[in-house]
Amino acid sequence: MSVIEVQDISKQFGTLKAVDSLSFEVQQGDVFGFLGQNGSGKSTTIRMLLSLIHPSSGSIKLFGLPLKEHRNELLEKVGAIIERPDLYPYLTAKEHLQLFAKVRKKHITTSDINATLEKVGLSNRSTDRVQTFSLGMKQRLGIGIALVHNPSLIILDEPTNGLDPQGIADIRHLIQYLAKEEGKTVFVSSHLLSEIEQVASQILIIHKGKKVAGGATRQLLDPNKTIVHITTLNEEAALKAIKVSTFANYLLPRKDGIYFCMPQEQIPLLHKALVMADIPLLNVETKNSLEDYFLQVTSNTQ
Amino acid sequence: MWKLISVELYKIYKRPRTYIAFGAIAALIVVIQLGLKIDGESYSGFLMKDINDTLSIEGKILNGYLICYILLQLLLVHVPLLVALIAADMISGEANLGTLRLIFTTPYSRTQWVMAKFVAASTYTILLLIWLAFLALFVSIWIFGTDDLFLMKSNYVVLITEGDVMWRYVGAFVFAAFALMTVTSLGFLMSSLANNSIGPIVGTMSAIVFLTILSTLNIPLFSLIKPYLFTTHMNNWKEFFDLQVNADNEAIKGSILNIAKIKNSLIVLTLHIILFVGASVLIVKKKDILS
Amino acid sequence: MNRTPYKNTITVASKKAILLFLLCVITSTINAQANMLIEKVSQKLALVNDYTATGIMKTDVAFIKASLGKVKVYFKKPNQLKIKKEGGISLLPKGGVSVSLNSLLNTKQFVAMESGKQLFKGKELQVIKLIPTDDALDWVISTLWIDPATALVYKTFTTTKENGTYEVTMEYGAHAQYGLPSKIIFGFNTKDYKLPSGITLEFGEEEPVSKAKALKAKKGTIEITYSNYSINNGVSNTMF
């Protein structure tokens, strides 16, 4: 079942198109890695998933229901932290959890709250005011708030931002625990592939609000596969030829060129096939890994 | 909805800023009470210069009721500024903190949150007013005792008998609650427009100061717009302290000179509240939460 | 017959006194009658050593809005008088109380002159003018309207040195034999009343003062209707 189903959403801020016809699906139990440079539209997308930002067009469904019409009932099943862990400096960790437990439809007991504090490792600081907390502790409390009502879908926007290596590792373990032990769907965004690739089962890469690549992590990060970028004089004809061939399976959905993710030994065959289809090739460029590819995509100012 | 209101009240209760206004009011009132206790006779002597030429006045002029009236006259102009400190921060303050994201991703609509916040801010305002009433009225009565209320207005004096005063204060405080809730709702509207705390607070304060000046200036040009300014109506709690007189120029106990004026002001204030809060709800509903 | 006041008047040698002297010489026979009547009034007043009474006070001054108030009146010879509003603030004409009938007559330092008869509320009253012979007194001239048959004073009109002119009208009832009125109306001139709005903090539109109100704005009355006289039962000095 699709926990998240995004259909062709766009968001325009004045002249800036922050998100551009983005579509993707997240299945139940996935740890879905949402990758993109800072400013690529990740946060805007996540805020649209949480109804903080109204999409200019397109539709979002959570748990099979349209978000717009079923907002309140759907948000009950979602826990999220968005960007910075912003909290009330004058409240303690426990008070935060009590406060946010109160505004959930389901009854949350004190032992639920204590268990959440335990889970995020804040039991010993539960009565301290948040203004005395380090960024890492705030981030953990933010996750605690997202988890306190035991949601099925957890959305974490850049959860490792500003954390030290230990903090980053803690978050990674927590995500793994939530997915494996508690069977939750986790949607996690980052601008660093290295953080995502270890936990995510699915990856979606966006750049300038557009999807540039996506799929199962294992497939995308297959060491036997290489990213291939071909340049031709007639892209349209090339795509037409590729789509009817077996190479269509390797095609990366990108709008700014033709990219493949394919076993290295297949590259000569691709080359040959295109030549035979009378496609005037200019260049066939290979990249070593998804990391290279991601870096190239995200550093490219095209 | 009650859950949201209690959450909002809890946040107000926990904020250190909340107590600034309570402290400020207490300090102001105590200072004025002290001043009047020590030097009140010369103050009332100054006010009654004209009357003392003709009449000899006996009794406790400077009693708790008059002190309360003086305090209200002085303070009800400034309490709105203190109210703005909290009300204008209700939404924008959370936008600034970033916590608006947290509360707007709970399973309650933004309208519910905004209404809960307004109810909480109004509760705060009313508590502030009750605190003001307690200090200005009851503490003054405790310090200065009670007697008839001898009010010196611009063109005449009103002598309200002791037994006829308390209900007028109740009326005046209820009226003031409406006036301050109008300020609350204006602060709220400003708050819904911004993502930082200072802007709406300063904006609300400036608007009140500006409109108050327009309301008090007797310039014909401004007279046209005066009836539509809420600041013009905010001061009409004083109408509770004016009596009707019969043909023999005898004041009628329990009467209010111009009850229509009070009603009219209450209607104007209520319309402002509805307008401001309604606009806030619409703005917040449409808003993209980018903070 | 008290002739000494004449001498006093002459010793101060004011113009007023000389004029008065001449007047008195001319009307000496009439004055004898006037003095008799004043004496009758004084004798009547002398019956009362002290009294207390309750009363309803009504203030009618254009710039004052006050409702009826209960007052308690205390009197003790020779001329101590106190009007107290019961637990409230009282507004009384300044000096008007001290210029009571007792304080006018008790000093005996005046000349009384008959000034004809006048019809007042259906009664033919003797008009008598009193002129003080002691400059220390705070009144300049006083006119009394007295019913010769009952020796009751129905009206006084007194010009004071410092507090303007007072008109006191009296009505009598159950205690007429003591010369105590059942109703007393103080009339006096008032000054303009105006406080700047910067002090009163009133910035609303001004209430238009009606023309009728403006006309009588210079005149005020305070009216006390007495009841429950308690006469010669002793009044403590602490009351005054």
Of the residues B20, B106, B111, the best mutation for testing chain A's interface (the one with the most A CB atoms within 10 Å of its CB) is: B106
* Strands A31-36 and A185-190, bridge-based pairing: parallel
Tokens of residue C116, six digits = 């004809």
Nearest to A9 by CA among A62, A48, A67: A48
pLDDT for the residue numbered B1 = 84
pLDDT for the residue numbered C60 = 82
pLDDT for the residue numbered A242 = 82
Domain range holding C91?
3-239
The mean pLDDT value for B134-138 works out to: 93
Give A297's pLDDT tier (boundaries 50, 70, 90). low
Which residue does chain C place closest to B234, by CA atoms? C204
Count CB atoms within 10 A of the CB of residue C76: 20
The mean pLDDT value for A174-184 works out to: 89
CA dist B203 and C102 (Å) reads 68
pLDDT for the residue numbered C207 = 54
Q: Say if residues A156 and A124 touch (Cβ distance below 8 Å).
A: no
ipTM summary value: 0.83
Q: Say if residues C205 and C46 touch (Cβ distance below 8 Å).
A: no
pLDDT for the residue numbered B27 = 93
CA dist A81 and A135 (Å) reads 14
pLDDT for the residue numbered C209 = 52
Q: Is the pLDDT of residue A54 over 70?
A: yes
Q: Is B224 left (phi over 0), alpha (psi -120 to 50) or beta?
A: alpha
Contacts of B103 in chain A (CB under 8 A): 103
The CATH number given to whatever domain includes residue C175 is 2.50.20
pLDDT for the residue numbered C213 = 53
Instruction: Say whether the B–C interface has 3 or more Cβ pairs within 8 Å.
Output: yes
pLDDT digits (tens, 9 = 90+) for C87-105: 778 777 766 555 577 777 7
| A301 CB-contact burial (10 Å; exposed 0-12 / middle 13-18 / buried 19+) | exposed
Contacts of A54 in chain B (CB under 8 A): 286, 288
Instruction: State what percent of residues in chain A have pLDDT above 90.
Output: 36
Q: In C, residues 178-217, which contact B (CB 8 Å cutoff)?
A: 188-197, 199-207, 209
pLDDT for the residue numbered A301 = 41
Question: How close is the nearest chain B Cα to the Cα of C111, in Å?
Answer: 28
Give C23's pLDDT tier (boundaries 50, 70, 90). low
CA dist B170 and A210 (Å) reads 63
- Between helices A235-243 and A267-276, what is the axis angle to 10°? 110
Instruction: Say whether the A–B interface has 3 or more Cβ pairs within 8 Å.
Output: yes
pLDDT for the residue numbered C21 = 66
* Residue of higher predicted confidence among C42 and C214: C42
pLDDT digits (tens, 9 = 90+) for B11-52: 999 988 889 889 999 999 999 999 988 988 888 777 777 777
The mean pLDDT value for A68-93 works out to: 91
Tokens of residue C209, six digits = 């003062």
Nearest to B163 by CA among C224, C70, C200: C70
- Cα separation values, B80 from B68, B83, B179, B228, B267, Å: 18, 5, 9, 18, 19
Which residue type occupies B206? Answer: S
pLDDT for the residue numbered C211 = 41
B134 touches chain C (CB under 8 A): no
* Strands C123-132 and B157-160, bridge-based pairing: unpaired
The mean pLDDT value for B167-175 works out to: 94
Q: Is the pLDDT of residue A56 over 80?
A: yes
pLDDT for the residue numbered C1 = 44
CA dist C145 and B128 (Å) reads 62
Instruction: State what percent of residues in chain A have pLDDT above 70.
Output: 93
Q: Of the spans A136-150, B39-53, B55-69, C84-98, which averages the highest pLDDT?
A: A136-150
- Between helices B259-286 and B166-193, what is the axis angle to 10°? 20
Give B154's pLDDT tier (boundaries 50, 70, 90). confident
The mean pLDDT value for B233-256 works out to: 85
Residue that is written with structure tokens 């063109």 in the block = B155
* Residue of higher predicted confidence among B138 and B59: B138
* Residue of higher predicted confidence among B59 and C226: C226
Q: What is the mean pLDDT of chain B?
A: 89
Helices of type H across chain B: 2-14, 18-47, 49-54, 64-75, 79-87, 92-97, 100-103, 110-133, 140-144, 166-193, 198-216, 220-223, 230-234, 259-286
CB contact under 8 A, C65 and B155: no
Which residue does chain A place closest to B109, by CA atoms? A72
**DSSP letter at B251?**
B
Which residue of C58, C194, C203 is in closest CB contact with B235? C203
CB contact under 8 A, B57 and C188: no
Rounded to a whole number, what is the largest CA-CA distance in chain A?
72
Nearest to C115 by CA among C97, C91, C141, C95: C141
pLDDT for the residue numbered C3 = 47
pLDDT digits (tens, 9 = 90+) for C121-164: 888 888 999 888 888 877 888 898 998 888 888 998 888 887 77
Count CB atoms within 10 A of the CB of residue A20: 18
Question: Number of folded domains in chain C?
Answer: 1
Q: What is the mean pLDDT of chain C?
A: 76
pLDDT for the residue numbered C224 = 87
* Residue of higher predicted confidence among B251 and A92: A92
pLDDT for the residue numbered A64 = 92
CA dist A177 and A175 (Å) reads 5
Q: Is the pLDDT of residue C68 over 90?
A: no
Touching chains, C (3+ CB pairs < 8 A): B
CA dist B269 and B267 (Å) reads 5
The beta-strand segments (E) located in chain B are: 55-58, 149-152, 157-160
Which residue type occupies C191? Answer: K
Q: Is the pLDDT of residue B114 over 50?
A: yes
